[in-house]
Amino acid sequence: MKKIISVGRGGVGKTTFIAGLSLLLKERGPLLIIDADPDENLSYFLGIEEDLKSISEILFNIKEAKIKKELERLPLAEKIDYLIQQEALYERDFFDFLSLGVKWTEGCYCQPNNILKGIIKRLEKNYNFVLIDSPAGLEHINRRITTELDYIFVLLDPSQKSLDSVERFKRLLKDLRIKFKEIFLIGNFRYPESKLHLIQEKTGSSYLAKLPYDKKVEELSLKGEPFTKLSPNSLFLKEIEKIIKEVRL
């Protein structure tokens, strides 16, 4: 089992990257794909049309007693586990999908994140790959939804803030004792070829790849349509394919 996460600032292409990666790894599944971003956009790119409940929504329903009466007498942990299996875990031929979701009540994401952490640990052994789309920024790292990773892909836009975030991210990993094998830096499609050298100069780490501009990816993203509509000759997918070979996934 290999566990992979995409991280970076808002709008750099984390969700797009995970969607493309899942499409190309589907023949080597099964995959567990996790949308840990409360904004919940990944399901569109995966072609999920069903009205799934998120982990946060299930917790809200339990709190507000919006569950079947026969479940009310169960211990809390059993309620949560049953409802997630029945209402939140989306199962397809080559992947299963879970979403953290929007927290509709006041307070932090501590409980949903702790539950997601437990679910990942319990389920991951059943999959060849676990792909995680993270929220924007660095705060989610403190939540430690997983403490062991194989590959971390940091998506970068052409800004000093994006480059500065790499060092802060590395420090958080060290301070929080999150284990990982390798970190890879990827410039998004807006990164000018002439400025890619700044990634290594400013971060001390070399970049793995630059994602190309792909008009069809842009169209599908704007419409919220699945990436299964991409041609096998898509420039975007071709680059993801190169990345897979380069890191030996």
Place 131 in a pLDDT band, splitting at 50, 70 and 90: very high
Q: Please report, for the domain that includes residue 221, its CATH number.
A: 3.40.50.300
Place 118 in a pLDDT band, splitting at 50, 70 and 90: confident
Parent domain of 176: 2-50+94-102+127-247
238 in any annotated domain: yes
In the prediction, which pLDDT does 140 show? 58
137 in any annotated domain: yes
Q: Is the pLDDT of residue 210 over 80?
A: yes
List strands edge to edge, sheet with 129-133: 90-91, 95-99, 31-35, 129-133, 2-8, 151-156, 182-187, 207-210
User: Three-class SS of residue 10?
Assistant: coil
34 in any annotated domain: yes
56 in any annotated domain: no
Q: Is the pLDDT of residue 214 over 90?
A: yes
Tally the domains of the chain: 1
As a residue count, the chain comes to 249
In the prediction, which pLDDT does 13 show? 93
In the prediction, which pLDDT does 128 show? 95
Is residue 37 within 8 A of residue 136, CB to CB? The reply is yes
